[in-house]
Structure 1
Amino acid sequence: MKTKAVRLYGKEDLRLEEFELPAITADEILAKVVSDSICMSSYKAAKQATDHKRVPNDIAENPIIIGHEFSGELVEIGENWKHKFKAGQKFSIQPAIYYEEGPVGVLSAPGYSYQFIGGDATYVIIPKDVLVQDCLLAYDGPGFYPASLAEPLSCVIGAMHANYHTTPGSYIHNMEIVADGKMAILAGVGPMGLAAINYVIHRADRKPKLCVVTDIDQTRLDRAASIYTVAEAAQRGIELVYLNTKIEDPVAELKRLSGGTGYDDVFVFAPVAPVIEQGDAILAFDGCLNFFAGPSDQNLQAKMNFYNVHYAYTHIVGTSGGNTDDMKEAIDVMTAGLDPAGLVTHIGGLNAVAETTLHLPNIPGGKKLIYTHLEMPLTAIADFAEKGKTEPLFAKLAEICDRHQGLWSVEAEEYLLAN
């Protein structure tokens, strides 16, 4: 089976190539990739190459396929897995897996660590490492792009689960956000922040009563507010506030919005010291700050109020991904109706991956969704109508997106794949 894939050979050395996949073993599965969502983590891997903890040292000789937010269909099942999977099933993958190397487990991942599996490919071989750790997940929901976005959604689900609060007089940590508490999502209208807002609004079992979302870009705030509306949140019992913190005293305004108490759960979605310090400053008694944004700067530092650590029991956690249970929850909530389309702002084909990945921080908007069997320049959904003046495909896609609040949709995906 031939595949086309974007492979990493070294720092900023990404190549779109066609090559032969080996025959699968009894402990492997051949799969067709349909969609992959490009993540900032792939940009970091491409920039750092072998300096990245998940990227092998020998990629110059044995390049790896990039991309880890992908979905598709199973094609051929190895003999040892026919009891669990069947050809034609749609799938998603929880990419952060461990394998044993001596006494210590090593973190490994499709999209970083393997020659024959990654999201930016037409066909891949799902290895035993993924299968034995139950990281290949069947997806029964509509379309393919929701399953691609299950991985980023699982990361914010994991972040919510990782927050904790204390029990006075004991050493018990109560995991989870505070039910009916006060939450702030800082720098929260990028792709991952949007996923967090979506999950907070649609989560069935636990919600804050107040959720304040901040940014310094009013255009991005307005887009977020048009997708995840204050009215919809209110119907679900949440007071949702969008705040531009490009003001004289954002901490004072954030505290005022909290009623003066501060916030039980604060999530920081940008690796920027002033934003981290802002989050620390607005913590309530026993408040938990989750530093979600993974920094490239290995020496990133920020000040923290240690008086409050001692007397107000404030504390900090960091999360960098979800686990398999978080992925399963993401798939469940999407199958039940949560649509992650609000994260997607651009569509492209496999030919657009290398350039898009290497320039990702400079491309505005949210998630860049790749359909790996297509050749198509990276195109903003907002530009469909203009391109449609000369290209009928984009005219039709613009028409479909207009029917879905200007968002990508299963209908748009089906039309694209068919045409």
Structure 2
Amino acid sequence: MTKLPETMKAVVCYGPEDYRVEEVATPRAGKEEVVIKVGACGICGSDLKAYSGADMYWAGEDPWLKAPVIAGHEFYGVVAELGEGAAEKHNIQIGDRVTTDQINPCGKCMFCETGRYWMCQVHNIYGFQRDVAEGAMAEYMRFGSTNKIYKITDGVTDSEASLIEPAACAVHAVQRATIEFEDVVVMAGAGTLGLCMIQLISLKTPKKLVVLDTNNKRLAMAKKFGADICINPLEEDAVQAVKDLTDGYGCDVYIEATGSPIGVTQGLEMVRKLGRFIEFSVFGQETTTDWSVIGDKKELDLRGSHLSPYTYPIVIDLFERNLLTAEGIITNHFKLEDFHEALAMAKNPEAIKVLLKP
């Protein structure tokens, strides 16, 4: 096996607002496992919510986030060590640039056995469950034997490689929307995920693509990426603007990626009867609404979007063909030891995607 250092730097989560940069043991590859030298790890909106103590991560006797754990689930890297049988199973070799799904599936539950691994019943996500799914905010990271590993082609830049995970999630959300040529689509939220979705929705050539965000800088980027109309809900009545655009009916498709409760209630009002509402966001607080809007009033098709099943190869191909770009989305780079400065920047509205680079 390749000689790896005995210890490495890593960002270890111990609890809400208790993340520490520490020296920890370097992971080693077991049978059919792979260790990568991390190239970059993005700070996700879910990382910010976990850090702040959102109930969905910490509440209850058996919280979903099981600390202490090395954080980070948006990553790529270079193969540094191959366990027994790993090279043959994954068709990779030392030195390859690779990534894998953010979920480490059990491979045994009903969902895994029927190919729906992204809904794995055990559901270990890298960066959230100790021991079984340590994350990528570290110098090295281990992939489990049940992971599908994706080689990153030479035509994909390192910046694009660092955006593969969020872009893969974006592809799944857009797939769930089943966008048609005549659709008026509203994309709510122009953060990292929203900006990726805007590019992908544009490739679907809907009749109109409307983007909503309270950050005018991000709206300008949305326009560059293919939005037909950009609306800041703090500056104008977004619901009325969309209804005016659609003869009073409302949009055909509404994709929610704001992470804010108002993004949900606004969308339910904005989407037309028999429309499609795609829920993508992770929320830091409960969202309440009149559920009769979904059923009796509008008979909506309400669809969730979770993770990125089978979409990594799509993203790599789109980057390779220059149909998807990371330009302007990655705004900041920090060293691992500067994690807290990186976290502060990730909360800054001037930033979009902040990367940690070991």
Question: Deviation string for 1:219-276 (max 9, x for gaps)?
Answer: 3323433x32xxxx4xxxxx71112233453322111123443211101222334332
Match of 2:317 among 295, 308, 332: 332
Match of 2:46 among 36, 41, 44: 41
1:322 matched to 2:339: no
Structure 2 CA distance, aligned partners of 1:266 and 1:346? 30
Structure 1 CA distance, aligned partners of 2:80 and 2:281? 36
- The one-letter code matched in structure 1 to 2:32 is D
CA contact (8 A) 2:27 2:141 kept: no
Q: State the match for 1:28 in structure 2.
A: 33
Structure 1 CA distance, aligned partners of 2:238 and 2:164? 33
Q: Percent identity?
A: 24
Q: State the match for 2:93 in structure 1.
A: 86
Question: Deviation string for 1:173-198 (max 9, x for gaps)?
Answer: xxx22333110112x22222111112
- The one-letter code matched in structure 1 to 2:97 is K
CA contact (8 A) 1:183 1:266 kept: yes
CA contact (8 A) 2:80 2:95 kept: yes
Question: Deviation string for 1:86-116 (max 9, x for gaps)?
Answer: 1111012211233268888211111222447
- The one-letter code matched in structure 1 to 2:127 is G
What is the Cα-based RMSD across aligned positions, in Å? 2.6
Q: Deviation of residue 317 (structure 1)?
A: 2.1
Match of 1:302 among 282, 289, 293: 289
User: Unpaired segments of 5 or more residues in structure 2?
Assistant: 111-119
Structure 1 CA distance, aligned partners of 2:271 and 2:298? 9
Q: State the match for 2:167 in structure 1.
A: 153
Structure 2 CA distance, aligned partners of 1:45 and 1:295? 10
**Number of paired residues?**
334
Question: Deviation string for 1:294-346 (max 9, x for gaps)?
Answer: 1111x32123553x7336432322224222x1222122211221212232121
SS in 1 for 2:14: strand
CA contact (8 A) 2:100 2:147 kept: no
Larger Rg: 1
SS in 2 for 1:142: coil
TM-score (norm 2): 0.84
SS in 2 for 1:192: helix
**In the TM superposition, what are the counterparts of 1:4-403 in structure 2 within 5 Å?**
4-48=9-53, 50-51=58-59, 53-56=63-66, 59=67, 63-83=68-88, 84-99=91-106, 105-115=121-131, 117-128=134-145, 132-134=146-148, 136-140=149-153, 141-163=155-177, 176-186=178-188, 188-201=189-202, 203=203, 206-225=204-223, 227-228=224-225, 233=226, 240-247=228-235, 249-297=237-285, 299-304=286-291, 306=293, 309-310=295-296, 312-323=298-309, 325-337=310-322, 338-357=324-343, 360-362=346-348, 364-372=350-358
Q: State the match for 1:393 in structure 2.
A: none
Rate the CA distance shift 1:354–1:126 in 2: closer, same or farther, 3 A. Answer: farther
SS in 2 for 1:105: coil
SS in 2 for 1:270: coil
TM-score (norm 1): 0.72
Q: Deviation of residue 213 (structure 1)?
A: 0.7
